[in-house]
Structure 1
Amino acid sequence: MRILMTGAAGKVGTLLRPRLAREGRTLRLSDLQAVETGPGEEQVVADLADPAAMTEAMKGVDAVVHLGGQSREHSWADIVHANVNGTQVLLEAAREAGVRQLVLMGSHHAAGFHTRPADGTELPDYAFPRPDTFYGVSKVVMEALGSLYHDRFGMNITVVRLGTCNEGSLDTRGLATWISPDDLARLVEAALVAPGYHVVWGVSDNARRWWSLREAEAIGYVSQDDSEPRAVALIAEHGEPDLADPVHARAGGVFTLKELGGRW
């Protein structure tokens, strides 16, 4: 089996590569820059928005894990080129190559202005898009493109509304939004065989989680990690989270505030 991983040089790609390695599996690593390959890996340097480059990258591929694009808030033109046009070019190249299984790495910023339900219930998997940035808008478009390519062309596509992925939660917000790299790999593995179209939250089963795991679990994801072991140290350093503060009350946290480096 050959899996094309776009954005392989990025943080999430770097965390996932060793965790997706399997006997009989080849990871084809794609990025704008060369990536040093290891056993079971090969590379292709390509711009997501270049149709010819993506057609070449898709040859012999069985599935796609799409991590590539502009990973931070940027100018509208840059976001559209990398995240909107790039995703559409990727999907079209996959369709033309007959690739039917894709995992698209979306973001919680597609729903950033959603707040914690006052009744203590969880934020649903398919919560209506409420993007908090241009970046978030691009991830809404990713979800829409995934839906289109599933409905029109029958491709199996899972979009992951990714939370905070690090080796360990770095702050008290992450106690709710964190997903361990191991859990993310488990979620990707489940998505690589899931039929249909799905939007799932990319989060571990944290004790303080308020994003639903129902849809992720429906496709076979079983979280084995929890941020709570980090809670004592983080709370000692930063204090107990104020759940009325937008940083903790909104899915997008600080990115829902007006003070974003003068971009707004």
Structure 2
Amino acid sequence: MLVTGAAGRVGHIVVPRLHAAWDLRLLDLARPGDLPGEWVTGSVTDAGVMAGACRGVDAVIHLAALAGEDSWDRLMAVNVSGTRTVLDAALAAGVPRVVLASSVHTVGFRPAGQPVPADCPPCPDTLYGVSKAAVEALGSLYHFRFGLDVICVRIGSCFVRPVDRHALSLWLSPGDAGRMFEACLTATAPGFRVIWGVSANSRGCCSLREGRELGYHPVDDAERFAAAVPPDETVSAHLGGRLFTTTELGRPIGQG
């Protein structure tokens, strides 16, 4: 199995959990010294690199991306064109399944506190959110046109522990991240799916039904960290959070 963006934050969380069950080929711009697996150094925007990386694997987890707001040109080149390069390489190599990392920011202007189905229409909060909505659209295209099984995971807030009060509803724990990707890899004939990448949070409003139908059964709850999370005097009205719904478009604001 190939994991792109393996050296990133989410990669560092899920690769050790997947390594116990799968032979991993890991791809990123540079190789860190703390992750197990066969390494390929290069960019997902490089068709030659991706052709070699996809050769002989039975699934791809595509995590590589600019993981926050950035310029339009950079987001389109890395997140959108890079995803198309990954899908083209997987298709040419006969890889039957691709899991695409999407984001809560595809629907960042959905009101917080209201039930949010996993496959609700995009309402992105940033150009970054637009790029991830395009990633989902590419996944749909490659399934319905070419027959690839494609699962898009709208990841909430994947950290070791919730970083702020907003994350108490969107947290994806390390353990649940492993369980989620395992379900994506082992589900029988999933077709095209969109699921939420969140834990079973008491304050959560993101639907877990679609993930459970795929075999993802989260067990962790951010509520156990609530007392230690710093207070937030102004709670965001939207899923994307204040920073993402009010920032100047195209200005880098960090990961999300």
Shared fold (TM-score greater than 0.5)?
yes
Whether 2:24 is the aligned partner of 1:27: answer yes
2:5–2:28: 8 Å Cα contact kept in structure 1? yes
**Partner of 2:106 in structure 1?**
110
**Partner of 1:207 in structure 2?**
202
- How many aligned residue pairs are there? 250
1:104–1:158: 8 Å Cα contact kept in structure 2? yes
TM-score normalised over the length of structure 1: 0.89
Q: What are the superposed Cα offsets for residues 158-210 of structure 1, whole Å, 9 maximum, x if unpaired? A: 10100001111121111111010110111111111232111111110100001
Q: Distance in 2 between matches of 1:9 and 1:38?
A: 8
1:37 CA drift (Å): 6.2
Distance 1:151 1:261, change over 3 A: closer
Q: Distance in 2 between matches of 1:259 and 1:96?
A: 39
1:231 corresponds to which letter in structure 2?
A
1:32 CA drift (Å): 1.1
1:45 corresponds to which letter in structure 2?
T
Task: Show the 5 A alignment for 1:140-155.
Answer: 140-155=133-148
1:8 corresponds to which letter in structure 2?
A
Larger Rg: 1
Q: Give the root-mean-square deviation of aligned CA atoms.
A: 1.8
Distance 1:202 1:126, change over 3 A: same
Unaligned runs of 5+ in 1: none
1:70 CA drift (Å): 1.0
Whether 2:74 is the aligned partner of 1:78: answer yes
Higher relative contact order (CA 8 A, sep 6+): 2
**Partner of 2:215 in structure 1?**
220
SS of alignment partner, residue 16 of structure 2? helix
Q: What are the superposed Cα offsets for residues 220-264 of structure 1, whole Å, 9 maximum, x if unpaired? A: 001110011111232xx416x76xx4x2x2111124433448849
- Identify which of 161, 167, 178 aligns with 1:174: 167
Q: Distance in 1 between matches of 2:251 and 2:83?
A: 24
2:142 corresponds to which letter in structure 1?
Y
Distance 1:122 1:263, change over 3 A: same
Unaligned runs of 5+ in 2: none
